[in-house]
Every structure is written in C-alpha cells, then in structure tokens.
Amino acid sequence: MTITARPSDPIDSLCTELYIDGRWVQAASRKRCEVINPATEEVLASIADGGPEDARHALEVAVRAQGAWARTAPRQRSAILLRAYDLMIERREQLATIVTLEMGKPLAEARSEVTYAAEFLRWFSEEAVRIGGDATISGDGLTRIIVTKQPVGPCVLVTPWNFPLAMGTRKIGPAIAAGCTMVFKPAHLTPLSSFALAAILEEAGLPAGVLNVVCSSEPGSVVEPWMSSGLARKISFTGSTAVGVKLLEQASRHVMRSSMELGGNAPFIVFGDADLDTAVEGAMVAKLRNMGQACTAANRMFVHSSVADEFVERLASKMRSLTVGDGLDEDTQVGPLIGPAAVAKVRALVADAVDRGARVVCGGFEPQGRGYFYAPTVLADVDPASELMAQEIFGPVAPIIPFDSEHEVVGLANSTSWGLVGYAFTRDLERALRLQETIEVGMLGVNTGLVSNPAAPFGGIKESGLGREGGRAGIEEFLELRYLALPRPADA
Ligand code: NAP
Ligand code: MG
C-alpha cells in the first residue's frame, strides 16, 4: 500500500522513528509497521517497529538519566510541564487532526481530548512544586520521625489507542513532576499522537533520556524485557484487564510498584424521579463519547420502568439523528470504530442480545462503504443474561434494561467483577449520597455523563484497577516514602 496522507497533514512533519535519548532512531531490526486511518482504511504513516533490543537500549538510557533528573529543582520540572501545556494548546488544531486521523474520533472530540490531555501537564506542573513530607514525634516522645518523598525511579508506561494523547499525558505529567524517567510504549494503532507529544516535550526543555518512546506491533516483545530487567521500578498501565493481569504477574518478579487503569462495565441508572432531559443528555455523552470506545462508556443502562418507554424513545430519536462519517468532516458526530475486529465484536454482541429477545429501536447495522463504521444503536427490553451485559461493548450500542426498585438496581449494577465508573440520574440528594456508598465503583457521576477531570482521582476498584491518575493522588503513584528516625532526648 502507498502512503496517501495529504501534503497539508500535520503527520508529514512528524518523526516516526523510535525516540531514545533525545534522538529519533530506526529500530535495530529496521522493521516498520503501518498506521491506518479507520475512517478510510488508508495508510497514514509507516513507523519504526521496535523490538527487544530497542527496548533494552531505551531502558538503559532511562536508568542512566534517572539520578540527574531526580536532582533537578521541582521548579525546573514544573516549568517544562507548563511550557509543554502552552505548546499543546497553541497547536490544538494540528494535534486534534492527528488524533482524528489515526483514531477516528470526530474533530470536536479530538479538540476536547487535546485540551484534556494538556490539562494534565498543567495540573502536574502545579503539583511538582507541592511535593510534601511529614515530620512528627513518636507516641513515646523518644523519636523524631522525618518523612520525605522521592521519585520511585525509572517507570514503564503503557497506553491504549482510545485516547492516544490523554492516556499518555496522564502518566507522563506526574512522572515528570515527581522526577522519574520513563520508557513509554503507546498503542501501535495510534502512535502518532505520542510522537507529536514527545517532540513538544523536547521543545519545552525536557532533557534527553527522561522520556523514551518505543512502539511495536508486538507489544510483549518490548514490554516484557522492561518488566523482567529488574531495572524499572514501576509499571503504569492503561488497557484491558486481561493484559493488566499479565503485567501484574510480570511485575511481581521484581516487586514493581504497579498502577493499573483497566476495563469497566459501567452501570448507567435512570431513576423514576430523574430529569429526563438531563438523563438523555448524559446518556448521549456516556454512551457515544469516542463512539462508545471508552473504559468509562455506559455499558448497561438501567431505567426505572415508569420512565423506560419514554427514555428509550427520546434516546433513540437523538441517536437516529446523528451524522456518522469521517471525523475530519466538521459535520460528523460519530466516527468509525478502531478496526474491523471492533465492528465484528459489536455485530456479534447485538446479534446475541437480539437472539435473547432484545428489540432494535434504532441502528443495528453497518453503514455501507469504506471505514469501520457501526450505526448508533438502541436496544430495548434487553435480557440481563445477554453477552453485552458481561463484556465491554466498546461501540455505539445502548442496551436498556428496565428495573423497579433501588435495591434491585444496585444489585444488578454490582453484579460484575469490574468497578470503574457508574452514572445515576435522580433528583433525590439522599439517594445520590447513598449510591456513592452502595455502588461498587471508583467514580460515580450523578446527573452527568462525564466524570473525567484532571483535578479528580481517576481510577477503579475491583478488577478495574489499582491506584489513581490525576487529582492529588496522581503524583503519589510516582513517589515513595522514605522515613528517617532520629532519637529524641527525653529532656528535649
Ligand atoms: P489492550 O489490548 O490491553 O492494550 C493496551 C496496551 O497494552 C497497548 O499499548 C497494547 O499494545 C499493550 N499490550 C497488549 N498486549 C500486551 C502484552 N502482552 N504485553 C504488554 N503490553 C501489551 O487494550 P486495548 O484494547 O488497546 O484498549 C482498550 C482497553 O483499555 C479497554 O479494556 C478499556 O476499558 C481500557 N481502558 C481503560 C482506561 C482506564 O483508565 N481505566 C482508559 C482507557 C482504556 P498494542 O495496542 O500496540 O497492541
Ligand atoms: Mg488490543
């Protein structure tokens, strides 16, 4: 296949090699792999396809850079992050175009992702100079306890394709702020955003060797050498629970600090007293952001039987009116899925639900032509035993299940091994507060379909993960406590 990117594409000016020690270098094997535009199936770029030798080299560089980087002044690290934030905002249009081209989301959503991604750099520029400690006296009065925080050391960062910029900055921001060096493997389906980000960080003054980027069409061939080396001190992973579990096993060998942002199976609950306009708006965001390809996507929609018919009708009428197409067209509201396997998975999940009695209210088909599209779909009267209740749909399909009582719906919501996020729509404040205690999730949106916020601790409980990204907690994942004991004379 030939490369068909247009001359005006911001991709033309990107380096597409491995980024190691401040240089763009070929893979040792000289292998390349292609990046595809999911809206057109065209090849966008050919990138260096890294392997174990490149991985080991990148990690050696990160290990060598760690000492000097940890000794830099917090204000210096803060300033680099703030400059990179400014550059990202200045170049929002180019970055958004790259995100849309490689990942498919509509430009408007890509612009939001650039802002969201940049905000992590600004947030952590503010955290870099606020790394605290503690000093106290032991209970018996005989010891002074002095606690400091230090960078954990070289980190392994691994991110998925669905938010190619924001999943990177959510890890790179706190790692820089804390004084950690990094080896970073972005998803090979969407590596171009990460190359643009690395170039911006370099321009903002990030020293060579602090961030090293190695992409590969065989992710294990790069990540496994990092995990088994004994040289990396931390893994921060965002992706599927299956791969997260594998990496936790690998992390156990050298007892690496582990942060895991894994899959979800979000319940979206509309109570009988909800404002239905707000609930439908919330459903559109929680279901259709990123074409449903988000760990936070509403996966199971429980609607009180007193309002279920009206909710289904209103949601379907909105979903039907959406424009599906290439995200580069400003008119597009719903872009393609990431690839043919994603479309096949959604097709099979819808077929299974329909076999079990679900009614297709809108959608349920694949638009003709090139690209990996699936029409926004509403399924009513879904049997809770359907496959799509137990798996991440990762597509624009809203399955609706009626319920009758809060007790019943909380039980349904919690009947999953995941616990990332939930959504509830109600006018009853007491109930909303109760749900925060009873629904087993790390994040609960009440009367909103969007919880992501750089100032909030993002993360899940149960099999949705370990640790938090963003908020006050985000930087702590990259710091470790050291405590100094100093005898205190009894007569002090
Ligand atoms: P994935 O297959 O787990 O991939 C995630 C990352 O791991 C990619 O960089 C991937 O590389 C890499 N990888 C795959 N197999 C690996 C292996 N054996 N060893 C080391 N690395 C490996 O997940 P995905 O399908 O790309 O992304 C969707 C998943 O991410 C969903 O489950 C979603 O819920 C989750 N997610 C969670 C959050 C959160 O914050 N909780 C946010 C976004 C997404 P390649 O892509 O190059 O193969
Ligand atoms: Mg994958």
CA of 237 to the centre of ligand 1 (A): 8
Give the DSSP H/E element, type plus range, for residue 24: strand 23-25
**CA quadruple 222, 224, 227, 232: dihedral, nearest 10:** -20
C-alpha–C-alpha distance, residues 364 and 374, integer Å: 8
C-alpha–C-alpha distance, residues 163 and 150, integer Å: 29
Ligand 1 atom nearest to CA at 161? 26
Ligand nearest to the CA of 465: 1
Q: What pLDDT is recorded for position 8?
A: 55
pLDDT band for position 2 (50/70/90)?
Answer: very low
pLDDT above 60 (res 5): no
| C-alpha distances in Å from residue 225, one per residue of 19, 35, 44, 254, 469 | 17, 24, 29, 12, 25
C-alpha–C-alpha distance, residues 191 and 167, integer Å: 12
Q: What pLDDT is recorded for position 491?
A: 81
257-261 and 465-466 beta bridge pairing: antiparallel
CA of 474 to the centre of ligand 1 (A): 20
Task: Identify the burial level of 459 via C-beta atoms within 10 angstroms of its C-beta, where 0-12 means exposed, 13-18 middle and 19 or more buried.
Answer: buried
Ligand nearest to the CA of 263: 1
443 CB within 6 A, ligand 1 = no
pLDDT above 60 (res 244): yes
310-345 residue pLDDT tens: 999 999 999 999 999 999 999 999 999 999 999 999
Atom 19 (ligand 1) nearest CA: 220
Q: What is the CA radius of gyration of the chain?
A: 23
pLDDT band for position 436 (50/70/90)?
Answer: very high
434 CB within 6 A, ligand 1 = no
| C-alpha distances in Å from residue 228, one per residue of 55, 67, 252, 280, 478 | 12, 21, 10, 48, 20
140-161 residue pLDDT tens: 999 999 999 999 999 999 999 9
CA of 39 to the centre of ligand 1 (A): 21
pLDDT above 90 (res 3): no
Evaluate whether 143 touches 137 at the Cβ level (below 8 Å).
yes
What's the mean pLDDT in 19-31? 98
368 Cα distance to chain centroid: 30
Ligand 1 atom nearest to CA at 295? 34
314-323 residue pLDDT tens: 999 999 999 9
pLDDT above 50 (res 203): yes
Evaluate whether 399 touches 300 at the Cβ level (below 8 Å).
yes
How many residues does this entry show for the chain? 492
Q: What pLDDT is recorded for position 1?
A: 43
CA of 113 to the centre of ligand 2 (A): 20
What's the mean pLDDT in 274-293? 98
pLDDT band for position 28 (50/70/90)?
Answer: very high
CA of 237 to the centre of ligand 2 (A): 13
Site to probe by mutation for ligand 1, drawn from 116, 238, 259 as the one with most ligand atoms within 8 Å of Cβ, is 238
219 CB within 6 A, ligand 1 = yes
221 CB within 6 A, ligand 1 = no
| C-alpha distances in Å from residue 432, one per residue of 260, 420, 436, 462 | 27, 17, 7, 21
What's the mean pLDDT in 445-452? 98
Atom 11 (ligand 1) nearest CA: 187
The structure tokens listed for 116 are 């969201």
Domains located in the chain, CATH noted: 10-262+465-481 (3.40.605.10), 266-453 (3.40.309.10)
DSSP three-state, residue 362:
strand
When the pLDDT of each residue in the chain is averaged and rounded to a whole number, the result is 97
Closest C-alpha among 146, 154, 72, 87 to residue 121: 87
82-129 residue pLDDT tens: 999 999 999 999 999 999 999 999 999 999 999 999 999 999 999 999
10 CB within 6 A, ligand 1 = no
Q: Which residues have a catalytic role annotated?
A: 261, 295
C-alpha–C-alpha distance, residues 128 and 341, integer Å: 41
266-270 and 421-425 beta bridge pairing: parallel
C-alpha–C-alpha distance, residues 144 and 128, integer Å: 26
Q: What pLDDT is recorded for position 492?
A: 73
C-alpha–C-alpha distance, residues 263 and 422, integer Å: 13
Q: What angle do CA 402, 308, 337 make, to 5 degrees?
A: 80
Evaluate whether 237 touches 392 at the Cβ level (below 8 Å).
no
Side-chain-side CA neighbours of residue 391 (13 Å): 16
CA of 167 to the centre of ligand 1 (A): 11
CB atoms within 10 A of CB 304: 21
The residue whose two tokens read 């390349």 is 32
187-196 residue pLDDT tens: 999 999 999 9
158 CB within 6 A, ligand 1 = yes
The 10 Å CB-count burial string (b at 16+, else e) for 430-442 is eebeebeeebbbb
Q: What pLDDT is recorded for position 7?
A: 43
| C-alpha distances in Å from residue 86, one per residue of 231, 374, 452 | 33, 36, 21
Q: Categorise residue 224: left if φ over 0, alpha if ψ from -120 to 50, beta otherwise.
A: alpha
Atom 9 (ligand 1) nearest CA: 187
Which residues lie closer than 8 Å to 407 by C-beta, 6 or more apart? none
C-alpha–C-alpha distance, residues 116 and 99, integer Å: 13
Phi, psi for 422 (deg, rounded to 5)? -140, 165
422 CB within 6 A, ligand 1 = no
Strand ranges across the sheet with 23-25: 23-25, 18-20, 211-213, 182-185, 155-158, 234-238, 257-261, 465-466
